[in-house]
Structure 1
Amino acid sequence: MLEFLEISIPYTDLLIADLVFALIVLIVGFIIARVLVSIFKKMFSKTSIPVLVSSILVQLLTILLYVAVLLATVSALGVSVSSVILGLSAVIGLILGFGLQDTLTNLAAGIWIAVLGPFKVNDNVTIAGQTGSIKTIGVMATELVTADNVFIMVPNKMVWNAPIINTTRLPTRRFDLTMTFKLVNNSEGTVKAVMDVLNKNPVILKTPEPKIYISNMTDATADLQIRAWVSQENYAVIVNDVKEELLTHFEK
């Protein structure tokens, strides 16, 4: 066995023993790297660091550990690590110069989005002219799903450079409704009748209180602008519910 390990590999200055040792370093190094990555994942999960930030940090750590393992393997083969590092630096610099500017911009934007947190998964947003629900906040891009179930992927640099409209960020939201009503005695009676319906709706918040404005009026009708506040989870259905309640009330 010892004689076999001392056999030289043709066209190189390496022995089979050197190759076996380098292979052992590679395998053990990858195992240690995976264990360390798993430990860091568990550590990050117990902190208040945003999920996207911890994901980016884990990915960067994984890359660094794997590079370290490869360098250790190369060193075990007797190759100068400094020359390998210089070669990698040159290659990386060339790649960055030709094609990774946008990639790095998206990565940096993704980090800022994760740190500042302008939205989270399932928020309804409008970003760069695209409206939908946040499906995934990725390192390179943000994924949306529209109301009609269309998938949209927006690069993070576009997300960062555009206004972000988040309609579900705050706990309450105001809805506006304009309807035409037959006059109940006079305009004041009509406004009071509408306000009675709003006050009886348990979903509509009492603070801030509902507001009703007369936008137009004829001898028989009044156009009313209704503004009231509801909690975020009730916003999607409140307009139709209030319309039905008002129509039913005025029909009676």
Structure 2
Amino acid sequence: MSEIPLPPWRRAVAKRPRAAKAPLTQDQIVDAGLRIVMVEGIEAVSMRRIAAVFDTGASSLYAHVANKDELLQLMFDRICAEVEVPEPEPVRWREQIKEMARHSHAVMTRYNNIARAALATVPSGPNALRLSEGMLTIMLAGGVPPQVAAWSLDRLFLYIVADAYENSLHMQNLREGQDTREYFEGFVTQLADFYGDLPADRFPNIRAHAKTLTSGSGDERFEFGLDMLVDGLARYVTDGEGS
């Protein structure tokens, strides 16, 4: 069928071509997810929410990320890249493990509650595996038996991740404008008072040691737990390297 010509009293309006959108990449999607986590937390991350950042539909993300679970794993793996892995020094193996643990904990804490993405799963991205390989190599170089090193790797990461996640839960309880130190001092005071008011006939030791039970900063308690875990490994070293 022939096309009807435009009437002479109407002017043709040139159609403006829409600018083509730059294709998305997996890195861009992960970056957007981490920005959301930093401001609003892991609960705010969704495929639809990230798609909105790029003014597109969620379906366009699936060419790069299978689902939200994979996205969270990619995000967690990304932050693992920030943790340094030192060359093994057998005589310093315990301190090297502690240094890696402190750095890992600091990175996870900095990214709000991203640590939750590592719970009830085994992070298997290249950066997370790099950390596991690094810690395992350091322990083996220090004389820790393979079986002990393997289980210790699991327990160490669980301790680091769980502590970082608990810190993030406390941060969510802060009132707007409240200082972090003010919050923790108030929390500890309330907890000590609660322990001190418990019935002495049922909880004599908790009541008597209320101040001791609530003493120490989060950093001090993290270091204490780290010492228990890492220094306790030395008893499994039989060749003298772990002394």
Task: State the TM-score, normalizing by the size of structure 2.
Answer: 0.25
- Give the structure with the higher percent strand: 1
Task: State the TM-score, normalizing by the size of structure 1.
Answer: 0.24
- Give the structure with the higher percent helix: 2
Larger Cα-atom Rg: 1
Higher relative contact order (CA 8 A, sep 6+): 2
